[in-house]
Amino acid sequence: MEPTTTRVHQVAQRAEDLDRAQAFYRDTLGLRFVARFDPPGLVFFDLGTTRLLLEQGAPSALLYLEVEDIAATVEALTEAGVAFVDEPHPIFRDDEGTFGPPGIEEWMVFFHDSEQNLVGLVERRRPAAQE
């Protein structure tokens, strides 16, 4: 029997200060807090069908968090004190429909979390001419 993988179960992210990281992901980003186990120092958040684990011993990961409106999210997070490293911009246009309906663009913008990990926001949108 060949092994079958059906989804990402969990992603771990480095957290130097668990209290600070927990507050950032819960209060600033608005992720749903699930549990904290201390010791050993693990904080869990719900990302749909995937868990986000914040842990001191974890390496830094590059997270891409999907949002419905990237401009509104950037505005809200900027007001909450988050500094972005770039402006929202299109990454690619999926004309073939590889990841869903043909013609959808993926827009991204990046910022550093409270622990200096790079995090991306992603919006999948129809180009203005198709709306």
Phi-psi region of 21 (alpha: psi -120 to 50; beta: other; left: phi over 0): alpha
Which residues contact residue 57 at a Cβ distance below 8 angstroms, ignoring those fewer than 6 apart? none
Residue 131: pLDDT above 70? Answer: no
Query: What is the rounded radius of gyration, in angstroms, for the C-alpha atoms of the chain?
Result: 16
DSSP structural state of residue 28: I
Of 35, 60, 85, the last residue of a domain is 60
Identify whether residues 46 and 91 lie together within a single domain.
no
Over residues 55-81, the pLDDT tens digits come to 999 999 999 999 999 999 999 999 999
Report the SS3 class of residue 103.
coil
129 compared with 113, residue with greater pLDDT: 113
Identify whether residues 130 and 85 lie together within a single domain.
yes
As given in the structure block, the two tokens for residue 66 are: 């999907």
Residue 129: pLDDT above 80? Answer: no
Identify whether residues 56 and 73 lie together within a single domain.
no
Identify whether residues 66 and 130 lie together within a single domain.
yes
d(CA 125, CA 106): 7
Residue 1: pLDDT above 90? Answer: no
Which structural domain, as residue segments, surrounds residue 107?
62-131
Which residues contact residue 77 at a Cβ distance below 8 angstroms, ignoring those fewer than 6 apart? 28, 29, 84, 111
- Contact (CB, 8 A) for 14 and 56: yes
Report the SS3 class of residue 4.
coil
| CATH number, position 25 | 3.10.180.10
Identify whether residues 8 and 24 lie together within a single domain.
yes
Identify whether residues 67 and 131 lie together within a single domain.
yes
As given in the structure block, the two tokens for residue 14 are: 């480095």
Q: State the pTM of this model.
A: 0.89
